[in-house]
Chain A
Amino acid sequence: MSQAIKKVVAEFLQEAGKKDRDIVVLCSDSRGSGAFGPYAEELPEQFVEVGIAEQNLVGISAGLASCGKRPFAVSPASFLSTRSMEQAKVDVAYSNTNVKLLGISGGVSYGALGMTHHSATDIADMASIPGMRVYLPSDGPQAKCLMKELVKDTDPAYVRYGRNAVEDVYEEGNVPFVMDRATTVREGKDLTIIACGEMVWQAKKAAEQLESEGIHARVLDMYCIKPFDGEAVRKAAEETGAILTVEEHTAYGGLGSLVAQLTAREHPTRVRSLALPDAPVVTGTTPEIFKHYGLDAEGIAKAARELVG
C-alpha cells in the first residue's frame, strides 16, 4: 500500500495530543502542507499558528518546551533547515529544549518548484549541530514507530519526510524497528545498499531486480542519520565488501559521507555514493528527478552492478 508519511505523522500526533495536553503542534502557514488541518480543528488549544516566520516558529517552540510543553514545529524542510537553522542550533540543540522539528515536503518533493523549495542540504545542516538528532523515515509504518519514540523522549530531533505518498517498505503492525539502529530490509552478501528516507523503497526494488540476476544485495535502512548506526555499517563492510549509499540529498555531508568516514576509519571498503548533484536539480516531477540522477530502482541497480562487477 502507499500512503503519505505526513498523514501518518499528523494522525499520530492528533491521537497522542488527545491524551497529552502538553503536546503542541506549531505551523508556519504550513498546516495544509503538513496535513495538520484536522489536528488544528480538533485540538485548537494545542495548536499554534505563527504565520510565515520560521525563525519565530522554532524560537517559540523552544520557549514552550522550556516551560514543560512538548512542541512539534512543522515547516517545509527547505525552510526549517536553513532559515531557522540558527534557532535550531541555539534555542533547541544548544539550550537542549525538547523540541521536535518536523521537516515536511523534504528533499525534492516539491518537484518543479525548484531549488528554493528543495531540501538537499538538511542532513548536513542539522546533523552538524551538536545535540541535534536527525531521522529520515522511509515509510508510514516506520514513521509511526519513530514518532512513538520521539513523543516519549525529551531531547531535540529533526525529522525529514516527503510530501507525496510513498510505497510501504514495511508491513503495518510488523515493522522491524529498533530506535537508533538501522533496519536490515533484506540480507545479502555481495554488497550492501544503504539508503534513507524515500530511497529505501527504491533500494529494495533494486535489490529484488539484482537478486533475479544472481547479485545478492543487503539493504540497510539508515533512517537514523544521527545517532548514526556505525556498527551496522562496519558489519556491512566486513561481510559484504562493497557499499552503495543512496540519498535524496547532496553528496556533501550526507549519508554517503558518513558511511565513507566510518568505513575509512574502521574497515576500508569500496563505497560509492548516489546523491543529488551539487547544482539546482533538473525541472520535473519527483519520479522524473529521481530517474534523472539514477536515484530510482533502475539507477541504483545499475550502480550496484558496476560496483560489484
Chain B
Amino acid sequence: MEAQEWTRLAKKAVDIREEVVKMIYRAKTGHIGGDLSETDILVDLYYRQMNVSPENQKDENRDRFVLSKGHSVEALYAVLADKGYFPKKDLETYSQYGSKFIGHPNNKIPGIEMNSGSLGHGLSVGVGMALAGKMDKRPYRVYVVLGDGECGEGSVWEAAMAGSQYGLDNLTAFVDRNRLQISGTTEQVMHQDSAEERWASYGWNVLSIPGNDLYSIDDAVDLAKHTKGKPTVIVANTTKGCGISFIENKAAWHHKVPSEAEYQEALKELAERRATL
C-alpha cells in the first residue's frame, strides 16, 4: 500500500470513529469499545479490499461481509452511509422509535447481507456463502468479523471445522482480539490464548497482526487471498476503544455512553488525529 493510500484510509478511519461517537452520544446507547477496535478492519475491507458498492449490491459476484460480532454495528452503519448505501442523515434515527437502524445488523438495510446479534452465528453463515461460491465457481470472497469473546461460543468451532474440511480458501475470518469482554479480560472470563494455536489446530491458515495498523491489515488480507486450500483467520490484535485515549483498553467502555464532557473530549482527540494526517 502506498503512503498516499494509507493516508486516505487513515482519514476514513477518523471519520468513521467520529460518526460512531456522534451516533452513540445522540442515541445514548451503543457498543463503543468494539466499534472503535474494529474500525480499521472495516475501513481496509470496505474502502480498499472488497468489491462492494451501492451499485453492485445485487451483483452475484460481489464480495460478502458478515459482522458476526453484530453489537459493533455502529461502525458498520457509519461505513455503509459513507459509501452511499443510504443517506447519512438516516443515522440520526439510530435506535429511535420505529427506526430500521437497530442495535444489530439486519438485512433490511442496504449493504447488510445477514442479520446477526446473537454471537457465534456469522462464521457458519460465512462458510455457507463460501461453499456457494465454490459450487458456482464464482470469484467472490467472504469476510467475517468475529469478536474474541465471541469465540467462547461452541458454534464458532463447528464452523471452523467445516471451513477447513471444505478447503474454503475464499473465506477470511478476522478475530477482533482486543482481549476484553463485558465482564473483564478474555483471559479472566474464559481464556482464549493461544487463539493462534487454536485456529491452526483446526486447519486454518493463521495470521496474527497488530489489528489497528492499516498496513498490517491490508497485507494480511492480501496474503489470505493468495493462500490456497484452506481458509485464513487474521487474529487482529486490536485495542478496544482504539483512537480515544480515555476509552482505550477499559472493559467498562464495552457499551458505556460518553458524558457531554467526554463526548467533547473524544471529538477533540479525533480532530487532533485528523490534523496529523
Contact (A55, B115) CB under 8 Å given A60-B127, A62-B128:
no
Q: Is the CB of B132 within 8 A of A64?
A: yes
A63 to chain B: which residues have CB within 8 Å? Answer: 114, 124-132
In the assembled complex, how far is the CB of residue A98 from the closest CB belonging to chain B, in whole angstroms?
Answer: 12
Q: SS class of chain B's interface: helix, strand, loop or mixed?
A: helix
Residues in B whose Cβ lies below 8 Å from that of A90: 115-118, 121
* Contact call A66/B159, Cβ cutoff below 8 A: no
Chain B 150-175: CB-based contact to A (< 8 A → 1; otherwise 0):
00001100110110011000000000
CB of A64, distance to nearest CB on chain B (Å): 4
In the complex, which residues of chain B have a beta carbon less than 8 angstroms from the beta carbon of A46?
A: 135
| A70, chain B: closest CB distance, angstroms | 11
Whether a CB of chain B sits under 8 angstroms from the CB of A61 is: yes
With an 8 Å Cβ cutoff, the count of chain A residues facing the other chain is: 31
- The complex places the Cα of A62 from the Cα of B123 at a distance, in Å, of 11
B49 within 8 A of A: no
Residues of chain B within 8 A (CB-CB) of A62 are 114, 124-125, 128
How many Å lie between the Cα of A90 and that of B154 in the bound state?
17
**A37 contacts the other chain (CB 8 A):** no
Task: Please determine whether B116 and A56 come into contact, CB atoms closer than 8 angstroms.
Answer: no
Cβ of B64 < 8 Å from any Cβ of A?
yes
Interface residues as binary, A62-91 with B (CB distance below 8 Å gives 1, 0 otherwise): 111111110100000000000000110011
Question: With an 8 A cutoff between CB atoms, is B201 at the interface?
Answer: no
State the CA gap A48–B129 with chains docked (Å). Answer: 13
User: Could you tell me if A56 and B155 are in contact, using CB atoms closer than 8 angstroms?
Assistant: yes
- The size of the chain B interface, using a CB distance under 8 A, is 33
What is the distance, in angstroms, from A65's C-beta to the closest C-beta of chain B? 8
Are A68 and B60 also in contact (CB < 8 A) when A55-B158, A56-B158, A90-B121 are? yes
A91-B124 contact in complex given A55-B155, A56-B155, A67-B64, C-beta closer than 8 Å: yes
Name the CB-closest residue of B to A67: B132
Nearest chain-A residue to B154 (Cβ)?
A55
Asked if B258 lies at the interface with its beta carbon under 8 angstroms from chain A, I say no
Asked whether, in the complex, the Cβ of A56 is within 8 Å of the Cβ of B114, the reply is no
- Considering only residues 13-63 of chain A, those with a C-beta below 8 Å from chain B are 21, 24, 45-46, 48, 50-51, 53, 55-56, 58-63
The reply to whether A66 and B129 contact each other, CB–CB distance below 8 Å, is: yes
Which chain A residues lie closer than 8 Å to B155 at the CB level? 53, 55-56, 59, 87
Give the complex CA separation of A55 and B162 in angstroms.
12
Q: Which of B115, B126, B129 contacts A94, CB < 8 Å?
A: B115
Find chain B residues with CB under 8 A from A66 CB: 64, 113-114, 125, 128-129, 132
Q: How far is the CA of A68 from the CA of B60 in the complex (A)?
A: 9
Assess whether A95 is interfacial by the CB under 8 Å rule. Answer: yes
Q: Indicate whether B264 reaches chain A with its CB closer than 8 angstroms.
A: no
Q: How far is the CB of B135 from chain A (nearest CB, A)?
A: 7
A17 to chain B, nearest CB (A): 12
Whether B211 is near chain A, meaning CB under 8 Å from some CB there, is: no
Q: Is B227 an interface residue (CB 8 A)?
A: no
- Give Cα A24–Cα B154 distance, bound, in whole angstroms: 25
Q: Which of A50, A58, A60, A91 contacts B114 (CB 8 A)?
A: A91
Q: Are A86 and B129 in contact (CB under 8 A)?
A: no
B residues 91-131 near A (Cβ < 8 Å) are: 106-107, 113-118, 120-121, 123-131
Least CB distance from B170 to A in Å reads: 11
In the assembled complex, the CB of A60 is this many whole angstroms from the nearest CB of chain B, namely: 4
- CB of B133 within 8 Å of the partner chain: yes
Q: Tell me the residues in window 130-149 of chain B with beta carbons closer than 8 Å to chain A beta carbons.
A: 130-133, 135-136
> How far apart are the CA atoms of A303 and B112 in the complex, in Å?
53
> How long is the Cα–Cα vector from A162 to B133 in the complex, in angstroms?
34
Most chain B Cβ neighbours within 10 Å, of A24, A55, A61, A67: A67
A56 touching B124 in the complex, CB below 8 Å, given contacts A66-B114, A91-B114, A94-B115: yes
- Known: A59-B159, A67-B129. Contact between A91 and B121, CB under 8 A? yes
Q: A55-B155, A95-B114 are in contact. Are A48 and B131 (CB under 8 A)?
A: yes
Residues from 211 to 227 in A contacting B, C-beta threshold 8 Å: none
Asked if residues B125 and A53 are in contact (CB atoms below 8 Å), the reply is: no
> Which residues of chain B are near A60, meaning CB under 8 Å?
124-125, 127-128, 131, 159, 162
Near B by CB (< 8 A), chain A positions 91-108 give 91, 94-97
- Shortest distance from the beta carbon of A26 to any chain B beta carbon, whole Å: 9
State the Cβ distance, B128 to closest chain A Cβ, in Å: 2
In chain A, what residue has the closest Cβ to B135?
Answer: A45
A89 (CB) vs chain B CBs: closest residue? B118
Chain A proximity of B171: nearest CB distance (Å): 10
Interchain CA distance A30-B128 in the complex, whole Å: 19
Which residues on A sit within 8 Å (CB–CB) of B130? 63
Q: In the complex, what's the smallest C-beta–C-beta distance from B52 to chain A, in angstroms?
A: 14
Select from chain B the residue with minimum beta-carbon distance to A46.
Answer: B135
Nearest to B66 among chain A residues (CB) is A63
| A50 proximity list for chain B (CB < 8 A) | 158, 162
5 cross-chain CB contacts under 8 A: A48-B131, A51-B161, A60-B128, A66-B125, A90-B117
Interface contacts beyond A86-B121, A94-B106: sample of 10 additional A-B pairs, CB < 8 Å, sorted by A: A21-B135, A53-B158, A55-B120, A56-B127, A59-B125, A59-B128, A62-B128, A63-B126, A64-B129, A91-B125
